[in-house]
Amino acid sequence: MESNEYFTFGHLLRLAWCHRRVGFLAILTFVLILLWRSTYLPNDNHRWSTSYYSRFYRERELLSRKPNIVFILADDYGWNDIGYHGSFIKTPNLDRLASEGVKLENYYIQPICSPSRCQLMTGRYQIRYGLQHSVITSDRPHGLPLDEVTLPQKLRENGYRSYIVGKWHLGFFRKEYMPLQRGFDRFYGYLTGGEDYWTHRRPNGYARDPSAFHGLDLRDQDKPVLDQNGTYSTHLFAQKAIEFILSHERSKPMFLYLPFQAVHSPLEAPTKYVEKYKDVTHPLIKIYAAMVTAMDEAVGNVTDALKRTGLWDNTVLIFSTDNGARENAGSNWPLRGWKNTLWEGGVRGVGFVNSKLLRKGNRKSDALIHISDWFPTLLRISRSVSNGTKPLDGFDIWDTISTGTPSPRKEILHNIDPLHRKTASSSFNLLYDDIFNISVYAAIRSGDWKLLTGDQGHGGWKDSDTSGSKFEYAVDPPTKHLWLFNIRNDPQERSDLSDRYPDVVQELLQKLAAYNKTALPPFWPSRDPRANPALHGDLFGPWL
């Protein structure tokens, strides 16, 4: 046996020597393949499995083409109002899409509509362009400033065809502020913050203020849509998104931005969805749940259309809320507070990503991510460049989502709003007010710490049950205007640590002060009677 092996080995050596050039080339090729593979190996510990490599090579193949990007934004959708967070509300499509992809469990948005949308569109905090106060209203001449570069602008520069279906809410007092002028090729939707789901008129039951302007707010490009009175907006926007998907020219990548009206007020839902919640006794919660289920079905229909057309395999789907649930409907349990507050219930949001481009799907991510991060992240995966943008506050978090590497983001400025109502009793605090006026409404997250100042409304905790009666209000003294929490240990914001860690308070106040020095003054013009739709053919639109 031994002589045989010796003979075989020696024979091979002689053979290799005779054909040494071929052998050298084979070894060189083998080494080069090993080097090439190791260059692309992720940082974490993957098993060398067939499924991993098929996914890995598929990502490489797909990223060599520009991926389609579909961004679905829900409106006022609460942290707890999705099946996988324990809700009684039926969301089978969202649950399935989330479980196939990556659930973003440490994901932050802004507490109200326009600020979340402007940060999504620019990758920049709202203090950078004077939009730190409230939302963009339908009767004030303001909007996302024109010198801010938007996400669809950059994607379009890189060959994308861009669609928006649904709510804009970033200004329209002059035509230059409207979606078609901000980077979208196609616009089907509405300009203001909310309206009737069937008539598409504002306010029409949405606001009881008799001085509020009335008018139609639904457009196809720049023309009013007059034939959809009676079509529920969740169905209408899903149907229009599907039409865009079906007619999309396949030679171009697609950016579809689908900001649903759902589930913003007014609470309105078709009967067939309300009937699914016969057992829910609370009338508002019953309708809210029906609205969520209608949206869930719409998301399922849109993703089915992407699959039918073959676009799905090269698509990155992102689902996000724009802020937490309102106090009267929906639930952010177990988080404190609700929409329009800087408590976690206002700013920590439901979000997930589903895509075949993800290297590691079927998991939850605990990485700190903010809505401003989508701008650089989506530019990166679309292989667009950020030339021409102003300095970004967002981080490219694709690797964090796709492979689970640590998030580059360590801090979030939730907001500083000097126009927000200040604390009633704001006696000077010797320890802190030299650094930052703690009667001003502000909040910042740094690492696991979160600091809140000013009149925060104190918030509370609303359980996710169907009666709506399980409410617990915070018991802070009414004049309290400084809180420090360790969010990782205390995500419910129950234990204020500001007395225990004054050095941490000072450090975070210094960060707030540094941000504040870079802020533009908030732009908050007066209401303008010329905005009245009655002066413009019963249609909300530009008035200057």
| Residues designated catalytic | 113, 169
Binding mask 311-340 for Ca ion (x = CB under 5 A): -----------xx-----------------
SS3 call for 73 = strand
Indicate left, alpha or beta for 449 from its phi (over 0: left) and psi (-120 to 50: alpha): beta
Residue entry with tokens 């499509």: 93
Q: How far is the CB of 322 from Ca ion (least distance, A)?
A: 4
Kindly tell me which residue out of 73, 74, 76, 202 binds Ca ion, with binding defined by CB under 5 A. 76
Give dist(CA 403, CA 361) in Å, integer.
8
Q: How far is the CB of 298 from Ca ion (least distance, A)?
A: 17
Q: How far is the CB of 115 from Ca ion (least distance, A)?
A: 10
The secondary element (H helix, E strand) that includes residue 219 is strand 219-220
Question: Of the listed pieces 73-81, 407-415, 435-443, 527-535, which binds Ca ion according to CB under 5 A?
Answer: 73-81
Least Cα distance to 246 among 164, 308, 337 occurs for 308
Query: Which residue number, 123 or 166, has a Cβ lying nearer to Ca ion?
Result: 166
Question: Of the listed pieces 24-32, 72-80, 395-403, 503-511, which binds Ca ion according to CB under 5 A?
Answer: 72-80
Q: How far is the CB of 170 from Ca ion (least distance, A)?
A: 13
Least Cα distance to 118 among 436, 393, 343 occurs for 393
Kindly tell me which residue out of 113, 290, 397, 484 binds Ca ion, with binding defined by CB under 5 A. 113
195 binds Ca ion (CB under 5 A): no
Least Cα distance to 130 among 73, 171, 83, 93 occurs for 171
Kindly tell me which residue out of 59, 74, 75, 402 binds Ca ion, with binding defined by CB under 5 A. 75
Residue entry with tokens 């973003």: 104
Query: Which residue number, 110 or 153, has a Cβ lying nearer to Ca ion?
Result: 110
SS3 of 151-192: HHHHHHHCCCEEEEEEECCCCCCCHHHCHHHCCCCEEEEECC
The alpha-helical segments, DSSP class H, found in 351-442 are: 374-381, 398-403
In sequence order, what are the beta bridge partners of 444?
Answer: 413, 451
Give dist(CA 266, CA 276) in Å, integer.
19
SS3 call for 434 = coil
Give dist(CA 254, CA 423) in Å, integer.
47
Q: How far is the CB of 301 from Ca ion (least distance, A)?
A: 22
Query: Which residue number, 94 or 509, has a Cβ lying nearer to Ca ion?
Result: 94
SS3 call for 294 = helix
Q: How far is the CB of 195 from Ca ion (least distance, A)?
A: 13
Give dist(CA 198, CA 196) in Å, integer.
6
Give dist(CA 447, CA 311) in Å, integer.
38
Give dist(CA 47, CA 359) in Å, integer.
12
Residue of minimal Cβ distance to Ca ion? 113
Query: Which residue number, 161 or 326, has a Cβ lying nearer to Ca ion?
Result: 326
Binding mask 29-68 for Ca ion (x = CB under 5 A): ----------------------------------------
Query: Which residue number, 73 or 509, has a Cβ lying nearer to Ca ion?
Result: 73
Size of the site for Ca ion (CB under 5 A): 5
Residue entry with tokens 């990782």: 488
Q: How far is the CB of 121 from Ca ion (least distance, A)?
A: 15
Question: Of the listed pieces 111-119, 145-153, 427-435, 503-511, which binds Ca ion according to CB under 5 A?
Answer: 111-119
Query: Which residue number, 76 or 296, has a Cβ lying nearer to Ca ion?
Result: 76
Question: Of the listed pieces 105-113, 117-125, 198-206, 275-283, which binds Ca ion according to CB under 5 A?
Answer: 105-113
Query: Which residue number, 297 or 322, has a Cβ lying nearer to Ca ion?
Result: 322
Question: Of the listed pieces 29-37, 112-120, 283-291, 364-372, which binds Ca ion according to CB under 5 A?
Answer: 112-120
Q: How far is the CB of 107 from Ca ion (least distance, A)?
A: 15
Give dist(CA 386, CA 372) in Å, integer.
14
Q: Are 94 and 296 in contact (CB under 8 A)?
A: yes
Per CB under 5 A, which of residues 410..449 are in contact with Ca ion? none
- Sequence-separated (6 or more) residues with CB below 8 Å from residue 479: 423, 424, 425
Query: Which residue number, 193 or 533, has a Cβ lying nearer to Ca ion?
Result: 193
Q: Which residues bind Ca ion (CB under 5 A)?
A: 75-76, 113, 322-323
